[in-house]
Structure 1
Amino acid sequence: MTFQIRSVTIYGKQPGQVHTVPFRTGGLNIVTGDSRRGKSALLTIIDYCLASSEYPVKSGVVRDYVGTFAITLVKPGQQLFVARRAPEEKKGVSTVLCVLSQAPGSPPPPLDDLRFVTPRDVAKDLLSDFCGIDRNIRVPAVGRATTIAPSVRHALFFCFQAQNEVANEDVLFHSQGKEWLPNTIRGVIPYFLGAIDREQALLRSRLRLARKDLSTHEAKLAAANAFAPAAGQAQALVIEAVEAGLLAPEANRETSAEEAPRLLRQALLHRGPQAGPEPTDDPISELRTRRSELRGLANRTRARIADLKTALAENGEFTDQANEQRARLATLGLLKSGLLDSPYGAHCPVCAGPVTPASVTAAALTTELEHLQSDLHAISRNTPAIEQMISDEEDRLQEIRSELARNQEQINEVTAAFRALDGEPDDIRRTAIVQGRISLYLDTAAQLAIGPRVEDRTEELRTRIAELETLLSEDSQGDRLTSFLSLINQEIRSKAQELALEHSSAMLRLDVNRLTVVADTPDGPIPLKNMGSGDNHLGYHVATLLSLHEWFAENDNPVPGVLILDQPSQVYFPPDHVGEEVLESDDRILLLNIFKAIHRTIHRLDGKLQVIVMEHADLEHPAFRDHVEHRWRRRDGQALVPAGWIDPERI
Structure 2
Amino acid sequence: MKFHIESLQLWLKTKQRRFVTFLPNKVNVITGESHTGKTAILDIVDYCLFASEHGISESIINENVAWYGLRIHVNDKVYLLARRAPEGKVASPDYYFSSTGELPEYEPSRNISESVLKKLLSADFGIDQDVKIPFGGRTLRANSRVSLRYFLLFNTISQDIITHSSQFFDKQNQARYQEALPRIFDIAVGIDTVENILKREKRAELERKLVRQENFAAKTAEKREQFNAQLAETVARAKGYGLVDDNTASDASINALKRMVTERESGSDRYVSAQYDEISSQIYRVARKIRGLHRFTTEFAKHKTTLKETGDSLQPVAYLLKNFEETVRTSVFDDILRNLSQGLQEIKNATARNTPLDSNISEIIKDLESQREKLERDLEALPVEMESFENDKDKYIFIGETKAKLELYSDPESDKAPDNSELIASLEAQIEELTVAPVEDRKELFTKALDEAIQDYITLTKAALGNYGDYRSAFNYSEKKLHLRKPRTTTTENVGSSSNHMFLHLFLFLGLHELIMRNGGVHVAPFLIIDQFSRPYWGEDDQEEEDGGEGEGERDFDESDVAKVRLALQLLDQFITTAKDMGKEFQMIVFEHINPRYWDGLENVHLVEIFRDGNALIPISRNE
TM-score tier, shorter chain, comes to 0.5 to 0.7
Within 2, Cα distance between the matches of 1:457 and 1:60? 72
Identity %: 23
Aligned length: 440
Q: Within the alignment, does 1:14 sit opposite 2:10 as a pair?
A: no
Partner of 2:491: 525
- Give 2:480's match in structure 1, choosing from 512, 515, 526: 515
1:325-344 alignment, distance < 5 Å: none
- Give 1:195's match in structure 2, choosing from 191, 197, 220: 191
Q: Within the alignment, does 1:177 sit opposite 2:142 as a pair?
A: no
Shift in CA distance, 411/202, structure 1 to aligned 2, threshold 3 Å: closer
Equivalent position SS for 1:571: coil
Partner of 2:443: 481
**C-alpha distance after superposition, 1:526-571 (max 9, x if no partner):** 36xx212111111111111111111112222121110110011111
8 Å CA contact 1:30, 1:615 repeated in 2? yes
- Give 2:519's match in structure 1, choosing from 555, 558, 568: 555
Equivalent position SS for 1:61: coil
Q: Within the alignment, does 1:622 sit opposite 2:621 as a pair?
A: no
Q: Within the alignment, does 1:631 sit opposite 2:580 as a pair?
A: no
- Give 1:391's match in structure 2, choosing from 248, 251, 262: 251
**Once the 2 structures are TM-superposed, how far is the Cα of residue 202 of structure 1 from its aligned partner?**
2.0
**C-alpha distance after superposition, 1:588-644 (max 9, x if no partner):** 111111111111111111151101100011141414698343333432x21111334
8 Å CA contact 2:540, 2:593 repeated in 1? no
8 Å CA contact 2:611, 2:617 repeated in 1? no
Equivalent position SS for 1:154: helix
Within 1, Cα distance between the matches of 2:590 and 2:198? 39
- Give 1:602's match in structure 2, choosing from 555, 576, 581: 576
- Give 2:105's match in structure 1, choosing from 110, 123, 127: 110
Within 2, Cα distance between the matches of 1:116 and 1:602? 37
Partner of 2:5: 5
The letter for the 2-side match of 1:557 is G
Equivalent position SS for 1:68: strand
Q: Within the alignment, does 1:535 sit opposite 2:499 as a pair?
A: yes
The letter for the 1-side match of 2:577 is H
Q: Within the alignment, does 1:77 sit opposite 2:55 as a pair?
A: no
In the superposition, the TM-score normalised over structure 1's length comes to 0.59
Within 2, Cα distance between the matches of 1:576 and 1:37? 13
Within 2, Cα distance between the matches of 1:140 and 1:130? 23
Shift in CA distance, 110/408, structure 1 to aligned 2, threshold 3 Å: farther
Shift in CA distance, 457/572, structure 1 to aligned 2, threshold 3 Å: farther
Equivalent position SS for 2:80: strand
> Once structures 1 and 2 are overlaid, which stretch shifts more, 463-472 or 120-129?
463-472
8 Å CA contact 1:305, 1:390 repeated in 2? no
8 Å CA contact 2:33, 2:540 repeated in 1? no
The letter for the 2-side match of 1:391 is D
**C-alpha distance after superposition, 1:232-284 (max 9, x if no partner):** xxxxxxxxxxxxxxxxxxxxxxxxxxxxxxxxxxxxxxxxxxxxxxxxxxxxx
1:388-537 alignment, distance < 5 Å: 389-393=249-253, 396-397=256-257, 475-500=437-462, 501=465, 502-521=467-486, 525-526=491-492, 530-537=494-501
Shift in CA distance, 303/487, structure 1 to aligned 2, threshold 3 Å: same
The letter for the 1-side match of 2:33 is D
Within 2, Cα distance between the matches of 1:588 and 1:86? 39
Structure whose alpha-carbon radius of gyration is higher: 2
- Give 2:152's match in structure 1, choosing from 149, 156, 161: 156
Shift in CA distance, 408/535, structure 1 to aligned 2, threshold 3 Å: same
8 Å CA contact 2:4, 2:587 repeated in 1? yes
- Give 2:235's match in structure 1, choosing from 284, 287, 301: 301
Within 2, Cα distance between the matches of 1:154 and 1:26? 24
Within 2, Cα distance between the matches of 1:601 and 1:297? 79
8 Å CA contact 2:128, 2:194 repeated in 1? no
8 Å CA contact 2:8, 2:19 repeated in 1? yes
**C-alpha distance after superposition, 1:320-343 (max 9, x if no partner):** xxxxxxxxxxxxxxxxxxxxxxxx
**Once the 2 structures are TM-superposed, how far is the Cα of residue 208 of structure 1 from its aligned partner?**
6.9
Within 2, Cα distance between the matches of 1:297 and 1:6? 81
The letter for the 1-side match of 2:48 is C
Equivalent position SS for 1:168: coil
Alpha carbon RMSD of aligned pairs, Å?
A: 4.1
Within 1, Cα distance between the matches of 2:63 and 2:544? 26
Within 1, Cα distance between the matches of 2:18 and 2:503? 34
Within 2, Cα distance between the matches of 1:594 and 1:300? 87
Partner of 2:122: 128
**Once the 2 structures are TM-superposed, how far is the Cα of residue 117 of structure 1 from its aligned partner?**
3.7
Equivalent position SS for 2:56: coil
Unaligned 5+ runs, structure 1: 218-295, 309-384, 413-455
Partner of 2:340: none
**C-alpha distance after superposition, 1:297-328 (max 9, x if no partner):** 997623367999xxxxxxxxxxxxxxxxxxxx
Equivalent position SS for 2:30: strand
Within 1, Cα distance between the matches of 2:426 and 2:199? 11
Partner of 1:328: none
The letter for the 2-side match of 1:568 is F
